[in-house]
A and B are shown apart, each in its own frame.
Chain A
Amino acid sequence: MSAATQDTAVRTGRITRTFIYVVLIFFALFYLLPFFIMMINSLKPLSEITAGNMMALPKEPTLAPWGAAWSTAQIGVEATGLKPYFLNSILMVVPAVAISTVLGALNGYILTKWRFRGDTVLFGLMLFSCFIPFQIVLIPMARILGMLGLAGSVQGLILVHVVYGIGFATLYFRNYYAAFPTELVKSAMIDGAGFFRIFWRIMLPVSGPIAVVCIIWQFTNIWNDFLFGVSFGGLNAQPVTVALNNLVQSSTGVKEYNVHFAAAILAALPTLLVYIVAGRYFVRGLMAGSVKG
C-alpha cells in the first residue's frame, strides 16, 4: 500500500518536474531571445540589417559597431562614443553604493543594538523613502542641489543616490542585525569595546551576505537610473543611461542600429557582471535577511 503510493508519487513527480522544466526553459528563451538578437545584430555591418533580415546570423561578422559605440559614435554634439559617460557612471555608482551601504549598516546597527525612544518610528519614516516615487522629489532635489552648488555634477548625483539608497540599505541591515544576538554586543561592551569598535570587530565581520545583497541592489538601481541622471546630470555628469538614450534618439544622420545594439549591451554589461559574480549571495542573503526581523 505504502509502496504503491510512493510509486505514484515518484511518477507524478517526474511529470511535474518535466512540466516545470519546459516552462522554465520557455521563459528563459523568452528572455534570452532579445539579448540574442541584440548580440547578433551588433556584430553585423549596417547594410546587413537594413537589407531586412534581423533574425539571421551575421554573414560578415565585425567588431566595428562595438568600437564605434565605445569611442566614436555621435552623442549630443560631440563624437565621443559612450566612453566618457561610462566613466561618469562609474564615478557616480562606486561612491554612491559604498556610502549608502556603510550608512545603511550603521543605521541597522544603531536601530537594533543601540535602541532609543522612538527608534521604530524613525525606522518607519526611513522605510517611507523606499516607497516615494522619484518624480515627487525632482523639484525639491533640484533646489537643494542648486543651493549646495552641486547641480550638474557627479557629486550631486552621488548625493541624490545616497539619500535615496539609505532607506533600502537600512531596511536590509536592520532586518539582518535583528537576528544577530544582542548578548554578543553586551559581551563586547563588558570586554571594553566602544560603539565603533563593536561595529568594526564584531558586527561587520559577519555582515558579508547582507552587504552583498545591499551592494547588488544599490548598484543595479543606481547604474540603471535614468530619471535622476537626465534631471541632475547637466552636460558634464550624464551617466551612460542618458547617453544611450541620446545616441538612439539622435535625429541627425542614418540610424546605425548595429551601433545602438552594441551600445545597449555595453551599458548593461556592468550590472550583468555584478549579478554573475555575486548572484549566489544575492539569493542566499535575501533569504537570510527576510526570515527573521
Chain B
Amino acid sequence: MSFLNIDNVTKSYGNVEVLHRVDIDVQEGEFLVLVGPSGCGKSTLLNMIAGLENITGGTISINNRVVNDVHPSKRNIAMVFQSYALYPNMTVGQNMTFGMEMHGIPKPERERKLADVAKLLQITPLLDRKPGQLSGGQRQRVAMGRALVRDPDVFLFDEPLSNLDAKLRVDMRTEIKKLHQKLGTTIVYVTHDQIEALTLSTRIAVMNKGYVQQLGTPKEIYDDPANMFVASFMGSPSMNLLPARLVEDNGQLAAELTDAGGTGLRLRLSQDGQGLRSHLGKDVILGVRPEAITDAEGADKRAQNLQILRNEVSVTEPAGSDTFVTMSLSGKDCVARMRADAEARPHEVFEFTVNMDKAVLFDPQTEERIDR
C-alpha cells in the first residue's frame, strides 16, 4: 500500500458534488502536484488531506492509517498556506515553535529544532521579528520553517508561491525543489501554474471540474496527454489542437489538414495501430506542441519522422531566446516555437519542419486521446 492513499474520495457541499471519486496514490518521498484551473477542487482535496474539510465519501490514509476521523493536529502533516498564515502577534521564533508547544514538546528540544531549521532556511537573524516586519520572500521561508520543524509525514502546500513576484517565485521554486531533494519528505503541492507543476513534481495530477483528468509523471503528462483538456492546460504556449482527417497514404496513416490558402496537405503519422485505424476516414484532432514545429535547422536530430509543411506565416513574435511563429492550419492559429534567428517573415511562405514523433491524436467527440 502506498504512503498517502486517496481512495475513491468525493466531496459535496449540500447537494453539490465538487470532487468526484478521486483516486490518487502517493509513494513515500514523492512530490505530487495537484494542478488545474481555478475552482477545480485542488484546495478542497488538500484541505481534506489536512483534515480541515470533512470527507463526504471514500477514505484517505496516511502511512497505513485511515485518517478520515483523525484531528488535523494528529495526522502528522504540516501545511503551508497561500497567505502564509503567520500569527501576527508572535515573533518568527514563536510562530515556528507554536505547534511544538501545543504538542507538549519540552522547551530545550523546541529551541534545538528551531535553531536547526532556522539555519537550514537561513532565517536565523529574523527569529525575533514579527511577521509584519518581513518581506514576502522571508514570510514564505518562515511559513516553510514552521512546517519543517514538525518533521511531518506529509507536507501540504497550497499555492505557496502565488503571492511572490515573478523573480522571487522562480528562486523559491528552486529552493523548494532542493529542499525536497535534501529531506526526501512526501509533498503534496497545489498550484494552478503548470510550469511550477512540471518543474517541481515527480508526479502530477491534472484536475478539472472535480475530476482527476490524468495522473502521471511530468513527461507522461506533457508528451502523452490523456485528453484535450490536459493537452491544452499543460504547456505554454499550449499544444496546437488542429481539426484534421485521418487518411491512409501509401499504406501509412496520415493526418490531412488545410493550409492558409485552403489547399489540402498531409502529415504522415509516426504511430500506427488498431486503435488509430478504427478512426480511418473520420475527423480527428491533431495535437502538436509548438516546439515540435521548427525550421529545418532547428529540428530534433533524433526524430524519426520529420515532415515538411509549406505554409504562409501570419505573425512572428520574437521573445528573446525563441521566436513564436503563427500560421493558419485547418482554420486555426497554429503556433511554432523556433530559434531566435529562424528566418520566418510575416506574409511569406515558409518551410516548416514538423516532428511527428511528438504528435498525438484526439477523438473530437469524446476529447480523449486515441491510442494506437
Contact = CB atoms under 8 A, between A and B. Distances in A.
Interface stretch (A79-87, A143-151, A161-169, A191-199): A191-199
Interface of B: 47, 50-52, 71-73, 77-79, 81-83, 85, 87-89, 98-99, 102-103
A92 to B, nearest CB: 33
Contact of A184 (B50, B79, B87): B87
Given A193-B73, A205-B89, 4 more contacts: A186-B79, A187-B79, A190-B50, A197-B102
Contacts of A205: 89
Interface residues of A, number: 16
Contact of B102 (A183, A186, A193): A193
B52 A186 contact: yes
A181 B98 CA distance: 18
B94 to A, nearest CB: 10
B99 A191 contact: yes
B82 A183 contact: yes
A188 B87 contact: yes
9 contacts: A184-B85, A186-B72, A186-B85, A187-B85, A188-B87, A189-B72, A189-B73, A192-B73, A193-B73
Contact of A191 (B47, B73, B81, B88): B73
A181 B89 CA distance: 14
Q: Is the interface of A mostly helix, strand, loop or mixed?
A: helix
A192 B103 contact: yes
Nearest to A208: B89
A23 interface: no
A187 B78 CA distance: 9
B81 A186 contact: yes
A184 B103 CA distance: 18
B14 to A, nearest CB: 10
A226 to B, nearest CB: 40
Contacts of B78: 190
A191 B100 CA distance: 7
A202 interface: yes
A190 B87 contact: no
Contacts of A24: none
Contacts of B85: 181, 183-184, 186-187
Contact of B99 (A181, A184, A190): A190
Nearest to B50: A190
Nearest to A181: B83
B81 A187 contact: yes
A201 B101 CA distance: 12
B157 to A, nearest CB: 13
A206 interface: yes
A190 B89 contact: no
Contacts of A189: 52, 71-73
A210 B79 CA distance: 30
Contacts of A184: 85, 87
A39 B206 CA distance: 77
A188 B103 CA distance: 12
A105 to B, nearest CB: 15
Kindly name the residue among A181, A186, A193 whose own CB sees the greatest number of chain B CB atoms within 10 A.
A186
